[in-house]
A and B are shown apart, each in its own frame.
Chain A
Amino acid sequence: KAGVTQTPRYLIKTRGQQVTLSCSPISGHRSVSWYQQTPGQGLQFLFEYFSETQRNKGNFPGRFSGRQFSNSRSEMNVSTLELGDSALYLCASSLLESTEAFFGQGTRLTVV
């Protein structure tokens, strides 16, 4: 069974640009959540989607958005990139909202 797949693995963008990251959950999983990991702040929750609906949202500005498609694949978008957005962005999928989460390898975003 394939794991959680995130693309791309690495990305370099310049300030002011926007970026879209993709996450394909484990087959059959309907819940996808996104996290940001930085050396200073550690792991922080961004948002969670279940059956195409955003269920929860963390304390991030509106520049961070996401969506989930009918096949449970999810994308997150960051607009007007700032240097501080440089981080490892992790996606996790779970069968249902309250079951064990399985993490992808992450997308390392560098903003220059």
Chain B
Amino acid sequence: KNEVEQSPQNLTAQEGEFITINCSYSVGISALHWLQQHPGGGIVSLFMLSSGKKKHGRLIATINIQEKHSSLHITASHPRDSAVYTCAVTSIQGAQKLVFGQGTRLTINP
């Protein structure tokens, strides 16, 4: 079982819809990251969270440390939000800098 699990793996929605991507992890962490990667593009760090909630424009990220769960929300989705969104954690137990989820491929249709 992966240490970081995301759902769904693929998500297609219409422009304007509210989007939620979920991330669950099984290890102790010092931080959780949400990353965005457009097709053929590099990786952009959207958020780094250790507790609570962060908001940047139409993007909101929340984390529940007790439940080991985080969500990424996109309000008023737009075709330019189409990308792969990946959750990654900084584990306090292992030697790895970041442990990644498998990513969620989001497609927003106009």
- Contact-residue bracket for chain A: 20 to 34
Q: Is B42 an interface residue (CB 8 A)?
A: yes
Contact across chains for A100 and B45 when beta carbons are under 8 A apart: yes
Contact across chains for B103 and A42 when beta carbons are under 8 A apart: yes
8 Å CB contact of B95 from A56, A102, A105: A56
Chain A's nearest CB lies how many Å from the CB of B61? 13
Q: How many residues of B contact A (CB 8 A)?
A: 21
- Known A90-B42, A101-B45: A33·B90 in contact at CB below 8 Å: no
> What residue of chain B has the Cβ atom nearest to residue A35's Cβ?
B98
Q: Is B7 an interface residue (CB 8 A)?
A: no
Contact across chains for B95 and A104 when beta carbons are under 8 A apart: no
CA distance A102 to B95 in the complex (A): 20
Chain B residues with a Cβ under 8 A of chain A: 30-31, 33, 35, 41-45, 48, 86, 88, 90, 95-100, 102-103
Chain A residues with a Cβ under 8 A of chain B: 33, 35, 42-45, 48, 55-58, 90, 92, 98-106
